[in-house]
Amino acid sequence: MEEGARAARDVVALTDGAVGAYVHVPFCERICPFCPYNKVVAEEGLARRYFAALDREMAWYAEALAEAGRGPFTSLYVGGGTPTLYPDALERVVDALPTEGERAVEVLPTHGTAERLARLAAIGITAVSIGAQSFHDDVLRRLRRPHDAAASRAAVENALGRFATVDVDLIVDVAWEEDAALAGAFLDDVRTCFQLGVDQVSTYPLMRFGYTPFGRVRHDRRREHEVLRAASALAAGMGYERRSVWTFNRIGSTPYTSITRPRFLGMGAGASSFAGRDFLVNHFGVQAYAEAVEHGRLPLARRFHLGPVAGAGYDSFWQAYAGGVDVGALSRSFGPVPSGLAACASRGLALAGVMRPVPGGYRLTARGYDVYHDLERRVTYSLIEPLWAEMLAEHASVPGGGWASPGSARGGSVWWLARHLFERS
Which of 369, 361, 392 lies closest to 321, judged by CA? Answer: 369
User: Judged by CB, which is closer to ligand SAM: 207, or 371?
Assistant: 207
Q: Which is nearer to ligand SAM, 8 or 28 (CB)?
A: 28
Stretch that binds ligand SAM, among 202-210, 230-238, 369-377, 405-413 (CB under 6 A): 202-210
Q: Which of ligand SAM, ligand SF4, none does residue 36 bind (CB under 5 to 8 Å by kind)?
A: ligand SAM
Partner residues linked to 324 by β-bridges? 363
The interface with ligand SAM within residues 263-322 (CB under 6 A) comprises none
Residues present in the chain in total: 425
Q: Contact between 26 and ligand SAM (CB under 6 A)?
A: no
CA dist., res. 140 & res. 149, Å (int): 7
- Closest-approach residue to ligand SAM (CB): 131
35 vs 79: CA distance, rounded Å: 13
Q: In angstroms, how far is CA 400 from the centroid of its own chain?
A: 23
Contact with ligand SF4 (CB under 6 A): which of 15, 82, 129, 212? 82
Question: Does 81 participate in binding ligand SF4 (rule CB under 6 A)?
Answer: yes
Q: Is 37 in the site for ligand SAM (CB under 6 A)?
A: yes
C-alpha 70/C-alpha 19 separation (Å) is 8
169 binds, among ligand SF4, ligand SAM, none (CB under 5 to 8 A by kind): ligand SAM
- Which residues, 125 to 154, sit near ligand SF4 by CB under 6 A? 131
Number of Cβ within 10 Å of residue 217's Cβ equals 11
Does residue 31 belong to the site contacting ligand SAM (CB under 6 A)?
Answer: no
Distance CA 126, CA 94 (A): 11
Q: Among 15, 133, 165, 273, indicate the residue that binds ligand SAM (CB under 6 A).
A: 133
Is residue 171 involved in binding ligand SAM (CB under 6 A)? yes
Answer for which of 35, 190, 227, 281 binds ligand SAM (CB under 6 A) is 35
Candidate ranges 10-18, 75-83, 240-248, 287-295; the one touching ligand SF4 (CB under 6 A) = 75-83
306 binds, among ligand SF4, ligand SAM, none (CB under 5 to 8 A by kind): none
Residues 330 and 316 sit within 8 Å (Cβ to Cβ)? yes
CA distance 67 to 62: 9
* Helical axes 87-96 vs 114-122, angle rounded to 10°: 20
| DSSP, res 251 | T
246 makes contact with ligand SAM (CB under 6 A): no
Helix axis angle for 114-122 and 149-159, nearest 10°, is 40
**Judged by CB under 6 A, which of 4, 80, 311, 401 binds ligand SF4?**
80
Instruction: Tell me: does residue 131 bind ligand SAM (CB under 6 A).
Output: yes
Helices 185-196 + 221-237 axis angle, to 10: 30
Determine if 201 is a binding residue for ligand SF4 (CB under 6 A).
no
CB of 105 to ligand SAM, least distance (A): 9
Query: In the complex with ligand SF4, which residue's Cβ is closer, 60 or 176?
Result: 176
- Sign, CA dihedral 223-225-226-230, equals positive
Residue 73: DSSP 8-state: B
Position 345, amino acid: A
Report how far residue 305's alpha carbon sits from residue 318's, in angstroms, rounded to the nearest whole number. Answer: 18
Enumerate binding residues for ligand SAM (CB under 6 A): 34-37, 80, 82, 106, 108, 131, 133, 169, 171, 204, 206-207
Enumerate binding residues for ligand SF4 (CB under 6 A): 28, 31-32, 35, 37, 39, 80-82, 108, 131
